[in-house]
Amino acid sequence: MDALILPTIPMAFAFALPVLSQLLKGNKKFVNAYAMIVTGLTFVLSLDVFRAAYSSEKPLIYTFGGWKTPIGIIYEVDKFGALLALTTSFLMFIITFYSIRYLEHETGVEWYYTLYLGLEAGLLGIFLTGDAFNLFVMLEVTAVAAYGLVMFYTEEGYPAYSGVRYAIISSIGTTFYFLALGVLYYGFGTVNFADLAAKARGYPFPVSEAAGNLLTVFALAMALITRAFTIKSAIMPNHFWLPGAHSSAPSPISAVLSGLVVNAGIYGLARFIWLFTGISEFENAVRVVSTVLIGLGAVSALLASLAMTAHDDVKRIVAYSTILHMGYLAMAVGLRTELGTKAVVFHMLNHSLGKALLFLAVGVFIHEAGSRKLQDLAGLGKKMPLTTVSLAIATISLVGLPPTNVFFSKLVLYYAYLEKSVALVVVLVLSSVFALVSYMKMLYWLWIKKTENNTEVKEPKSMVAVLLLLAVLCLAIGILSPLIIEKVIDPATVQALDVEGYIQAAINVLGGK
């Protein structure tokens, strides 16, 4: 199956939904079924792309309209990109099912799903593209959809404020990235990933030629790219937009933003750094960027974990947890080692699943109690045992306790950090302890705290079913980690670092020598 179809499906159906909804006078059952079918179809097709990528020794190349690079845009799908695309489409599918009940009393769900499908299309394009300019386009598609979803509760003031602030800060990030593309094109004569990597190594590549001082061009471009993607991934000091945006959105969207959208920034940083690692001429510039990422990642992990302990708003606690884990990933990207890359691949997968589970579990409590404050949720855990168990599994997972999935990716992070410095291990341990304290506070209020809370609550079956599925996945991936690492993570790691193979795959398909 042509990977070009994958982001096209949710995008095309997103544009059609408002028209069809208008013709059917806003029939909510139709809108819900429509969203389920589209996200389900996208998930099935992403499975085929995943299968094809893991069956091939080289990245898969797909050309737009048959135009060869660097004139045309291509998708170059390696195992890492295919894994992220599969994770994205799976979570978007099951979160759609969760959203149906969560939004049962809301109006305007056709616009919710229009933006939701657009968001999915943008994310899939980010992870599959082989072109830096197309990455910019897909970042914008993702961002515009995310802004609207954060502001979905238009009758409330704070979501609008958070959404506007998110839009402004994110737009600054994409502006930095757009400037970087101009710099890269000026020096390298291309914005195709494989072509950029080839030019940096002095290899011939069809059509385009490099010009100018490539080192100066690269250093300036990487400075801009680093700033852009640290904003996108909420790495301190560019983090301040995230807690408000992720906590203001409807809980299913919070799960998507924290579980998937922030991955785009880490993915962009990783892709550029991996492509230019191992080139002696650029080594000093890459080392500076790597050092900055390690330093900012460590600060993010420590301060975000401390911030978690200071809040009584459950969604803000979970939002700061996202900054914490983005810090871990930034440090791992900065290591530029095989073990560090393995940690990035594995932890991005595990964090996406664990964070989605945590936000969705918190969302059930908020849906039933109508409040995000721990004091208002006191004692409700005993009335909602399945939701509480799911939340407990999510917190145990994200802290990194066995036998959950994140325990094993944190173990890889531990050894990757240890290769660099014991100080990074100290950051990992301390931040995990602070996060554990915060999560235990949540569970204490929900389960143990004695209260006169007489709020009538129930556990919506469809929403709890999604929680239990994700909880089982977090445990299953943990238990089966040796097999998953061998069959999924290691191949993705090897191919992500095989820049020569990435270049050659593009040249072979596009007529180079």
Q: How many CB atoms are located within 10 Å of the residue 251 CB? A: 26
pLDDT at 405: 97
Residue 85 dihedral angles phi and psi, to the nearest 5°: -65, -40
Q: At what angle do helices 193-200 and 157-188 cross, to 10 degrees?
A: 40
State the sign of the Cα–Cα–Cα–Cα dihedral 90, 95, 98, 104. negative
> What is the value of pTM for the model shown?
0.95
Residue with tokens 């309209």: 65
Given a cut of 70, whether residue 311 has pLDDT beyond it is: yes
Residues 6+ apart with CB under 8 A from 254: 246, 247, 315, 318, 319, 359, 363
Give the model confidence (pLDDT) of 482-510 as tens digits: 999 999 999 999 999 999 999 998 887 76
User: Which pair of tokens denotes residue 35?
Assistant: 């969203």
User: Which pair of tokens denotes residue 166?
Assistant: 């998110």
Give the model confidence (pLDDT) of 214-271 as tens digits: 888 999 999 999 999 999 999 999 998 999 999 899 999 999 999 999 999 999 999 9
Are 201 and 193 spatial neighbours (Cβ–Cβ below 8 Å)? Answer: no
Given a cut of 90, whether residue 137 has pLDDT beyond it is: yes
pLDDT cut 90: percent of the chain above it: 77
pLDDT cut 70: percent of the chain above it: 94
C-alpha distance from residue 436 to each of 45, 160, 385 (Å): 38, 32, 21
pLDDT band at residue 512, thresholds of 50, 70 and 90? very low
Given a cut of 90, whether residue 440 has pLDDT beyond it is: yes
Q: How many CA atoms lie within 13 A of 491 on its CB side?
A: 19
Give the model confidence (pLDDT) of 3-57 as tens digits: 778 999 999 999 999 999 888 887 899 999 999 999 999 999 999 999 999 999 9
Please give the average per-residue pLDDT across 393-405, as a whole number. 96
